[in-house]
A and B are shown apart, each in its own frame.
Chain A
């Protein structure tokens, strides 16, 4: 398996524009997580899905952020409208899920810059 695949790797956009980040989890994994990493706050869990269903989105910073998982092999994180303070590295991770003793596997991340 190629691991968790995220696209794009880098995104530069202007304030106010819509940004969509994409993630393909490892095949067979049924838990998916979106994280944001900044220098100030470190890694923060934004939302996680189990079997394509959002379980906890309490980490989503505000209504400008939304995430979907239409099927087991694809998820998106959308920011609309984007703001400079959204600049960060966004990671997607997946795990086999269903059990509490499984480890998470991370993608390479998407570095977002909002100017």
Chain B
């Protein structure tokens, strides 16, 4: 059974700082890994999707990397802004029918 862990559970940083969120998973036989953002009381917004054959994906100030062999992914946020404050979730797809296991999330607060 796939288990997904995110560390830290919460993070508070001053505006402008670069930061890294971590996601680890136990079964390296995955199809892809997806990073989501969730704002309070809202649904999930997809940020980046990394296929199992890829090492990283970039979108604006976000960069996600994937190391399947070690069961790890990182989400790098450059020049953080208060608007980045949210909970970030990683989701690992290890089933052919998109059977996805979510991590517990990292709650990020960027202080102006």
Binding site for B on A (CB under 8 A): 4, 31, 33, 35, 42-45, 48, 50, 55-56, 91, 93, 95, 97, 100-109, 111
Give the size range of B's interface with the partner.
20 to 34
Q: What residues make up the interface of B, taking CB atoms closer than 8 Å to A?
A: 31-32, 34, 36, 41-46, 49, 51, 89, 91, 93, 96-105
Known: A42-B102, A105-B46. 8 other contacts (CB 8 A): A31-B97, A33-B100, A42-B105, A48-B98, A56-B99, A100-B32, A104-B91, A106-B46
A100 closest partner in B (C-beta): B31
Query: Do the beta carbons of A100 and B96 come within 8 Å of each other?
Result: yes
- At the interface, is chain A mostly helix, strand, loop or mixed? strand
B97 contacts A48, CB within 8 Å? yes
Chain A contacts of B97 at CB under 8 A? Answer: 31, 48, 50, 55-56, 97
Closest CB pairs A-B (n = 6): A43-B102, A100-B31, A106-B44, A108-B43, A103-B49, A106-B43
Tell me which residues across on chain B come within 8 A of A50, comparing CB atoms: 97
A9 to chain B, nearest CB (A): 9
A93 contact set on B, CB distance < 8 A: 44
CB A114 to nearest CB in B, in angstroms, measures 18
Question: In the complex the two chains form, what is the Cα distance from A21 to B36 in whole Å?
Answer: 23
